[in-house]
Chains A and B, each alone.
Chain A
Amino acid sequence: MKFTEEHEWLREEGDLIVVGITTHATEQLGDIVFVELPDVGDEVEKDDEIVVIESVKAASDILSPLDGEVVEVNEALVETPALANEDAMGAAWFFKLRPSDLSPMDDYMDEAAYKEFIA
């Protein structure tokens, strides 16, 4: 699993990349009440703002960590935004991407480096 400085996690699943945000991020955001996900089929570029999450405190944008095509989004999270507070690293994944360029993965942090980053 890889991590971005935007507190996203990226997990490889076959030739797809599953993207979510970390438990640390959801703890900082507080209770999450709204999630807006991209549409399946969207072609996205790295750093596009493709997810909006709102907590009781504020709205935040989530950036696409890679170029690629959105092939699946987590409708359960849209239905129950609180999932993000309950299981940020698992059930509350945001979207699955078919990446067209995996090279940024090399720049992202591994778990040890991310732990250091948030310490």
Chain B
Amino acid sequence: MADLLTTPLTALHEELGAKMVPFAGYSMPVQYKLGVMKEHTHTRTAAGLFDVSHMGQVRITGDGAADALEALIPVDIAGLGQGRQRYGFFTNDNGGILDDLMLANRGDHIFMVINAACKDQDIAHMRANLPSGITLDHITDRALIALQGPKAETALATLNPAVADMAFMDVADVELVGEVCWISRSGYTGEDGYEISVPEAAAEPLARALLTLDDVEAIGLGARDSLRLEAGLCLYGHDIDTDTTPIEAGLNWAIQKVRRADGDRAGGFPGADVILGQMAKGTGRKRVGLLPQGRAPMREGVPLFATEDSGEQVGMITSGGFGPTVECPVAMGYVATDLSDPDTTVFGELRGKRLPLTVTKLPFRPAQFKR
């Protein structure tokens, strides 16, 4: 794995006995000694520390930065309060999703976190489309650490009690281990928690300070995936991509009223005609939760059918596996809209057999955010 990129925590992962795998060009920990199942459960019951430094961190500065970004992202950025964060995505002219992301209003700039596998393309996309006068800085001297779980607040508060005062989706500058960190109260596990942008030299001291706490364990990408799947959250490149629209993906909630058809700043983003049209008229397929009725997990790529013997495929699983907290196999995927009502049975073809799944509302595990 000689030509893989590393993060400021790579040496620590290896010291902790992590199994390292290539992911989006980086060598990343897929699991530690606890294993995926226990890491998952630990995050749901205590606190998990995740290295997400492979993700892209971007600062956008300049007068009108929010308006300029609204031309690329169909969410309310101009109306985002200072010290607040929100979920969004870049769209293309067909209404497909180029990447999903988090945006924060940090006063004199907008801070963005983008997916590792998409970051070069996202940055090129912004550089090509943001007007002159708007400056984009790709921040490469900071690590990103997520601390997630019901004990995340008490754990992080041992380093600075100010973090306890943050509400879900707040962002703040907070000093930890002697360095100013950019903290958001958010994450991608369905649990309460924080994401911490920390200067790279302080990343390992910060991670070590947290890992000395009884409640905190290092958690790998394996459990990160099962946690987000139980929480019903999309993984870019799997559940959403350039061939899926936000409306098909059920991400309508992320497009605030002000950007919708009757809003004050309606449309004005790539693919607006498609996306706003689908909002009005509906879509031919929808992303849904899928619960295998048997015990066999059904994973990404399993084709779905309306009946045990029908010929025409009606959808596909885009993420699937075992949910350690719900203690059963879970999946999500796209089905034809007429089969998307909860409690509809569809059939997945697995190892030559058609096995039933129940269409289910997402998430499988309700979010535990601190509102």
Contact = CB atoms under 8 A, between A and B. Distances in A.
B31 A34 contact: no
Contact of B322 (A34, A36, A52, A78): A34
A37 to B, nearest CB: 12
A59 B295 CA distance: 13
A57 B296 contact: no
Interface string B11-36: 00000000000000000000100011
B321 interface: yes
Contacts of B351: 52
Given A52-B296, A58-B299, 16 more contacts: A30-B222, A31-B37, A31-B324, A33-B322, A33-B329, A34-B297, A34-B322, A34-B329, A36-B296, A54-B297, A56-B36, A56-B222, A56-B226, A56-B324, A57-B36, A78-B295
27 contacts: A30-B31, A30-B36, A30-B37, A31-B36, A31-B38, A33-B37, A33-B322, A33-B329, A34-B295, A34-B296, A34-B297, A34-B322, A34-B329, A36-B296, A52-B296, A52-B351, A54-B296, A54-B297, A54-B322, A56-B35, A56-B36, A56-B222, A56-B321, A56-B322, A56-B324, A57-B222, A59-B297
The 8 closest A-B pairs by CB, nearest first: A31-B37, A33-B322, A56-B36, A54-B297, A34-B295, A34-B296, A31-B35, A56-B322
A30 B35 contact: yes
Interface in A17-34: 30-31, 33-34
Contacts of A30: 31, 35-37, 222
A56 B38 CA distance: 11
Interface in B70-91: none
Interface residues of A, number: 12
- Which of A36, A54, A56, A59 has most chain B Cβ within 10 Å? A56
Interface of A: 30-31, 33-34, 36, 52, 54, 56-59, 78
Contacts of A54: 296-297, 322
Contacts of A36: 296
A78 B222 CA distance: 23
Nearest to B322: A33
A80 to B, nearest CB: 11
Nearest to A36: B296
Contacts of B322: 33-34, 54, 56
Given A34-B322, A52-B351, A59 B299 contact: yes
Nearest to B323: A33
A33 B329 CA distance: 9
Interface string B324-337: 10000100000000
Contacts of B299: 58-59
Contacts of A57: 36, 222
A78 B297 CA distance: 14
A7 to B, nearest CB: 18
B354 to A, nearest CB: 15
Nearest to B296: A34
B245 to A, nearest CB: 30
Contacts of A52: 296, 351
A24 to B, nearest CB: 15
- Which of B31, B295, B324 has most chain A Cβ within 10 Å? B295
Contacts of B297: 33-34, 54, 59
- Which of B31, B226, B296, B324 has most chain A Cβ within 10 Å? B296
A98 B202 CA distance: 62
Interface string B347-371: 0000100000000000000000000
B224 to A, nearest CB: 12
Contacts of A33: 37, 297, 322, 329
Contacts of B295: 34, 78
A16 B329 CA distance: 34
A56 B37 contact: yes
Contacts of B321: 56
A34 B355 CA distance: 15
A34 B298 CA distance: 11
